[in-house]
Amino acid sequence: MNSGDLLPVGRRVAYWRGRRKLSQQVFADRLGKSKSWVDKVERGVRSLDKVSILQDIAAVLRIDTAVLLGGDVQPAGVTEHVEGVERIRAALSTYEIALERPDARRPVLPADGLAREVAHVWTTFQHARYMQVVDLVPQLVADAQRTHAHDSGAGRVPLVEAYRVTASLLVKLGAPDVAWLAVDRAMIAATGDRVLVAAAAVQLGQVLRASGQARVAKSVMLAAAYRIAPPVIEYGTPPELSLCGTLLVQAALAAAGDGDDRAADELIDEAADMAARVRDGHDYHRTGFGPTAVELARITAAVERGDVEEAVLWHEKAIKRDGWRWLAAEHRAAYLVDAARAYLQADDPISAGRVLIEADRIAPAEIRHRPAGRDILAQVARDPAAPATLIHLAATLGVG
């Protein structure tokens, strides 16, 4: 048993903050709170009664929310993905090329071989096999850095893509601070190439939003979107429109998170115009962009602003579209977690449970290893009307 398991919530926060070697000031800065607020929480003077705050704290501390709420053992899977994040952090922290200490035991991959390796990791991620990706990413990052150092021209694209998939994975695992390191490197490596910059900016938007920087995310995403936007939409290529539209969607979700509902609607409408030209069934630059993806984003934005009745109505129509089944398993399951939030807010735990069971069928890791999925599972499972299958799943995973 961990010594932190027997402590009150505030003391658990202090315990894990100490484990992560964060000062109260640094911890407060990452949460967007004052040092005084953190001190009061840790001393039990201020209670933590909002799920959103607990989720934010858990994300900064790189632990599952359930760990903060107590229990004699850590929930299943938590230790595994925390250790995985630490391995990736270590891989990103070696600076072996800059320090001229590359691993001579592994030959430098040619650029085409590296590109195949990157494509394999991306495909594994899109199938939501996150723990497999955790195992693959450290070596992928090292290989990409070596190849780029050996052949900067041919190695540039796969290097950026390696950092992109790493950042996406880390956001999934609730580690936006480590994801920031990966995406910052992607942006630096992409500088000077408008297409690569736009591709890397997709993950930058994810990281900024996961870090609670909604207003900054909106501004940066708009700048990136209009930099890649074609002068005339009718003449834009599908890959170009996919990047621009995806960045507009990121900006819209950031606007919704910042309470700017009008901007969110306008940006999604703008993205929808581009999606109509791209059409469903494509995955240019690993965006999955198309009319169905934009419609799912519209629903997610509605959930964010609290229009749950509208979101539920749109959801029932969206999952019947042909484009739904063409989206990656990761994309569909992640969206279903948002849909479950909508049903829960609409006081319909039965439907919320049904949606989560479907998400678990499509991509089990989205519920079992992603902190956001585990959090919503715990919330639904606490309701007496929740499906028995879901309650059993929550008990198996140690959440609730």
Residue 366 pLDDT greater than 90, yes or no: yes
Q: Is 299 in contact with 342 (CB distance < 8 Å)? A: yes
Residue 74 pLDDT greater than 60, yes or no: no
Mean pLDDT of 354-380: 92
Note whether 157 and 14 are same-domain residues. Answer: no
Nearest to residue 319, comparing CAs of 348, 280, 292?
A: 292
What pLDDT shows up at residue 11?
A: 81
Question: Per the domain annotation, does 268 fall within a domain?
Answer: yes
Q: How many domains does the chain have?
A: 2
Model confidence pLDDT, tens digit, residues 149-176: 999 999 999 999 999 999 999 999 999 9
Q: pLDDT category, 83, cuts 50, 70, 90? A: confident
Question: Per the domain annotation, does 110 fall within a domain?
Answer: yes
Q: In the chain, what is the straight-line distance between the N-terminal and C-terminal CA atoms, in Å? A: 19
Residues 6+ apart with CB under 8 A from 352: 340, 341, 343, 344, 376, 380, 386
Residues 6+ apart with CB under 8 A from 315: 299, 339, 342
Tell me how far apart the alpha carbons of residues 311 and 346 are, in angstroms, rounded to a whole number. 10
**Angle between the 152-172 and 194-210 helix axes, to the nearest 10 degrees?**
20
Tell me how far apart the alpha carbons of residues 338 and 297 are, in angstroms, rounded to a whole number. 10
Question: Sign of the C-alpha dihedral, residues 212, 62, 186, 330?
Answer: negative
Q: pLDDT category, 46, cuts 50, 70, 90? A: confident
Model confidence pLDDT, tens digit, residues 20-42: 788 999 999 999 999 999 998 88
Note whether 46 and 109 are same-domain residues. Answer: no
Question: Per the domain annotation, does 38 fall within a domain?
Answer: yes
Q: pLDDT category, 12, cuts 50, 70, 90? A: confident
Note whether 246 and 122 are same-domain residues. Answer: yes
Mapped onto helix, strand or coil, the DSSP state of residue 50 is: coil
Other beta carbons within 10 Å of 127 = 16
Question: Per the domain annotation, does 400 fall within a domain?
Answer: no
Question: Per the domain annotation, does 133 fall within a domain?
Answer: yes
Note whether 80 and 45 are same-domain residues. Answer: no
Q: Which residue segment(s) compose the domain that 130 sits in?
A: 76-325
Q: Select from 325, 347, 374 the last residue of a domain.
A: 325
Transcribe 253-296 into DSSP letters.
HHHHHTT-HHHHHHHHHHHHHHHHHH-SS--GGG---SHHHHHH
Note whether 125 and 237 are same-domain residues. Answer: yes
Q: Select from 308, 325, 342 the last residue of a domain.
A: 325
Helix (H) or strand (E) holding 223: helix 214-228
Question: Per the domain annotation, does 379 fall within a domain?
Answer: no
Model confidence pLDDT, tens digit, residues 339-356: 999 999 999 999 999 999
329 against 81, higher pLDDT:
329
Q: pLDDT category, 128, cuts 50, 70, 90? A: very high
Note whether 146 and 208 are same-domain residues. Answer: yes
Note whether 33 and 59 are same-domain residues. Answer: yes
Note whether 150 and 252 are same-domain residues. Answer: yes
Residue 286 pLDDT greater than 60, yes or no: yes
Question: Per the domain annotation, does 290 fall within a domain?
Answer: yes
Model confidence pLDDT, tens digit, residues 174-215: 999 999 999 999 999 999 999 999 999 999 999 999 998 999
Q: Select from 325, 349, 376 the last residue of a domain.
A: 325
Note whether 119 and 55 are same-domain residues. Answer: no
What pLDDT shows up at residue 97?
A: 83
Question: Per the domain annotation, does 212 fall within a domain?
Answer: yes
Note whether 205 and 137 are same-domain residues. Answer: yes
